[in-house]
């Protein structure tokens, strides 16, 4: 069975004072039957890893190279050095604001694995691709190009049009996409493909989490806005724990 994962992506949010939220989330995590990962901004990683007994900590991006003259970037080795154990790669905000294509995303995922981090590889279609019926084809080709030949990964399906908008795909659409991703992973990895966690991301809230987690091939969520406050994130963790 794939590991059930509640992952929070804090994006460019969070100051030292928000460590209290992390403390509350980590305390709640002790009671949950799921894995909790929080990806805070880089500035909070050092402090955040103090909670790594109860929860796992991840970076939000890494450079493909282990070190070098790349001002402002952070390598997978550096993330691992803070005590982090996961890293997001290929988030749609990186793909669109930083021009990252699937070749770069794959190199980042490989760098993460080489540094003993687990990459959470993000894929997802835009609204136009969804409307023209190309969503599954788009995501399949992103997976083909972004995912290295290694089973130590997590996949996050995040329809771009659902991120931060409050709009989510129908339950049927979520099931269809996650079933298609599972079939592709099994085709690529054989029985190992059964065990890779596939997370749904995009406007996950306490009010819709239980329904989303009832889909067979949804093994958790990658949560943005609703991961910033423990009062929103803990009910999502609880819904996953009970699923
Ligand atoms: P959201 O973001 O939950 O705020 O929609 C999800 C994400 O970007 O990972």
The CATH number assigned to the domain holding 24 equals 3.20.20.70
How far apart are alpha carbons 217 and 46 in whole angstroms? 34
CA distance 58 to 61: 9
Q: Please provide the size of the chain in residues.
A: 243
Lowest-confidence segment of 45-54, 160-169, 194-203 by average pLDDT: 45-54
Inter-residue contact 230 to 41 (CB < 8 Å): no
Task: For residue 190, name the pLDDT band (cuts at 50, 70, 90).
Answer: confident
> Is the predicted pLDDT of residue 152 greater than 90, yes or no?
no
Residues contacting 145, CB < 8 A, separation 6+: 101, 102, 103, 105, 106
- With a 6 A CB cut-off, is 225 part of the ligand 1 pocket? yes
pLDDT in tens, 17-65: 999 999 999 999 999 999 999 999 999 999 999 887 889 999 999 999 9
Q: How confident is the model at residue 150 (pLDDT cuts 50, 70, 90)?
A: confident
Domains identified in the chain, total number: 1
Question: What is the pLDDT of the chain when averaged over all its residues?
Answer: 95
Question: Quick one: which atom of ligand 1 is closest to the CA of 11?
Answer: 8
Q: Is the CB of 204 under 6 A from ligand 1?
A: yes
From the alpha carbon of 201, which atom of ligand 1 is closest? Answer: 6
Instruction: Write down the catalytic residue from 21, 93, 125, 158.
Output: 158
pLDDT of residue 117 exceeding 80: yes
Query: Is 46 near ligand 1, meaning CB less than 6 Å away?
Result: no
pLDDT of residue 149: 76
Tell me the whole-structure pTM to 2 decimals: 0.96
Give the range of the structural domain holding residue 199, as residue numbers without chain letter: 5-242
pLDDT category of residue 222 using cuts at 50, 70 and 90: very high
Q: Establish whether 91 is a catalytic residue.
A: yes
Percent of the chain with pLDDT over 90: 93
């Amino acid at each position: 069975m794939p590991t059930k994962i509640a992952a929070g992506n804090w994006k460019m949010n969070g100051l030292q004072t928000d460590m209290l939220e992390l403390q509350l989330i980590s305390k709640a995590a002790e009671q949950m039957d799921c894995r909790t990962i929080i990806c805070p901004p880089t500035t909070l990683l050092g402090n955040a890893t103090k909670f790594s007994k109860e929860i796992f900590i991840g970076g939000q991006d890494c450079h493909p190279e282990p070190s070098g003259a790349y001002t402002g970037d952070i390598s997978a080795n550096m993330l691992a050095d803070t005590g982090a154990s996961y890293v997001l790669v290929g988030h749609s905000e990186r793909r669109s604001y930083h021009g990252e294509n699937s070749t770069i995303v794959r190199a980042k995922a490989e760098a993460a694995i080489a540094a003993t981090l687990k990459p959470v590889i993000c894929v997802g279609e835009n609204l136009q691709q969804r409307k023209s019926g190309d969503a599954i084809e788009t995501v399949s080709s992103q997976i083909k190009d972004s995912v290295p030949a290694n089973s130590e990964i997590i996949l996050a399906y995040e329809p771009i049009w659902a991120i931060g908008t409050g709009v989510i795909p129908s339950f049927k659409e979520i099931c269809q996409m996650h079933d298609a991703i599972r079939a592709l992973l099994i085709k690529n990895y054989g029985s190992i493909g059964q065990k890779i966690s596939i997370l749904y991301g995009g406007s996950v809230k306490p009010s819709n989490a239980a329904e989303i987690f009832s889909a067979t091939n949804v093994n958790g969520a990658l949560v943005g806005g609703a991961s910033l406050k423990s009062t929103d994130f803990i009910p999502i963790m609880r819904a996953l724990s009970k699923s």
